Amino acid sequence: MILYPAIDLKDGQCVRLLRGEMEAATVFGDDPAAQALKFQAAGCEWLHLVDLNGAFAGAPVNGAAVQAILSSVTVPCQLGGGIRDMATIAMWLEKGLARVILGTVAVENPALVREAAKAFPGQVAVGIDARKGRVATKGWATETDVMATDVARSFEDAGVAALIYTDIDRDGAMQGPNIDATEALARAVTIPVIASGGVASMDDLLALRDTGVIAGAISGRALYDGAIDLTAALRALAI
């Protein structure tokens, strides 16, 4: 199982939100590229980047910070937040991003996801963010009646590289991930599923790994707070 350290970007800074609330942001640093280099030095295989302002604006906002990260590290990076058209997808991939994450458009314009996955094989992931099983969009500000599992299944034949499943009520709360829901989703589809939201300890990571069906896990606050030692976690997950 791959561990993805998260760098969430708000106003050019590294932050973590509590349950997706922009007002509940904790700033962990004002040099995202330096943070990315620290994660790379610890041995990570991937980085998970989020343009939080972009998710609300519907277009890239923290582009300078993302580009600084891409210029600094050699590990592949995936980015979500405000990526809602082919031009933006192509722009980021041309700038060296390994994978774009499409969230809001996966619900509002699934044809775009299919088009992008076909045009850029292996470089398009779908972000499914849910509260009590129902998908939320536009930076989690808009709740829908669409079930997360239905969205996941709808892309089964689209060629997307991964599904990133976030339980919003767990995100940033350090209360553990929703393992049951994530495992159920992973068993419902053949697309690799990456768990996000609430990963607070090594035990959480090992529990996700031990399901045998979850391909990756994203962690942010626990790494910044020191609740998870990244190097030790990577070593344990490599066994």
Q: Looking at the annotation, which residues are catalytic?
A: 8, 129
Q: Which helix (DSSP H) or strand (DSSP E) does residue 222 occupy?
A: helix 221-225
* Distance, CA of 29 to chain centre: 19
Q: At 150, which helix (H) or strand (E)? A: helix 148-154
Strand, helix or coil at 40?
Answer: helix
Compute CA distances 65 → 45, 62, 73, 125, whole Å: 20, 6, 13, 21
- Give the separation between CA 126 and CA 37, rounded to whole angstroms: 26
3 state SS of 35: helix
The DSSP letter of residue 70 is: H
Distance from chain centroid for Cα 48: 6
Sign for the CA dihedral angle at 88, 55, 171, 34 comes to positive
